[in-house]
């Protein structure tokens, strides 16, 4: 059974392994660098960088990373999805959708001036485009936005 929870420091290595697996499906990659490790390590306990993991029998099978951003010209706070990843063995079971839904619920409950949730991805990634469109995001050039009204 899939359980979704906040990221913990002890999750970073498993998340890096999952990310490396995902990247190796698309690119010729090597193991995680210290720079990637430091980037992932900024999420646990960071109120400005909410992140969740999906577990199946105590194994991390997915995650979603986010950053809260104050736009200098627009009112409120925007949430930017930094990355979402689900293990190949667990794809097409709604885990990505559940991760996003839980993150969205938590953002709405905790960020009083939340104005939008944005997701950016490679414009040639048809799978990502279909995913964000299915979640109701609107396409704006190279990003999709879920306006919270």
What is the tens place of the pLDDT at every residue in 103-143? 999 999 999 999 888 887 766 778 888 888 888 887 765 55
Closest to 19 (Cα-Cα) out of 81, 72, 78, 65: 65
Q: Which long-range contacts (CB under 8 A, 24 or more apart) does 66-74 make?
A: 66/103, 66/107, 68/111, 74/115
100-114, pLDDT tens digit by residue? 999 999 999 999 999
pLDDT at 32: 59
Highest mean pLDDT range out of 16-20, 22-26, 49-53, 112-116? 49-53
The CA distances from residue 46 to 51, 52, 146, in Å, are 9, 12, 23
CB 75 within 8 A of CB 115: yes
Where residue 133 falls (left for φ over 0; alpha for ψ -120 to 50; beta otherwise) is alpha
Structure tokens at 94: 């709604």
Domain 2-147, CATH: 3.40.630.30
């Amino acid at each position: 059974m899939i359980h979704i929870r906040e990221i913990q420091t002890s999750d970073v290595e498993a998340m890096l392994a999952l990310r490396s697996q995902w990247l190796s499906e698309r690119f010729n990659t090597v193991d995680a660098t210290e720079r990637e490790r430091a980037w992932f390590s900024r999420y646990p306990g960071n109120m400005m960088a909410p992140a969740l993991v999906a577990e199946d029998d105590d194994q991390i099978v997915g995650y979603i990373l986010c950053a809260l951003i104050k736009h200098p010209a627009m009112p409120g706070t925007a949430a930017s999805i930094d990355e979402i990843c689900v293990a190949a063995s667990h794809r097409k079971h709604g885990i990505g959708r559940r991760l996003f839904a839980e993150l969205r619920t938590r953002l709405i409950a905790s960020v009083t001036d939340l104005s939008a949730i944005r997701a950016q991805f490679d414009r040639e990634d048809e799978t990502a485009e279909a995913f964000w469109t299915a979640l109701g995001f609107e396409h704006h050039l190279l990003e999709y936005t879920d306006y919270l009204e």
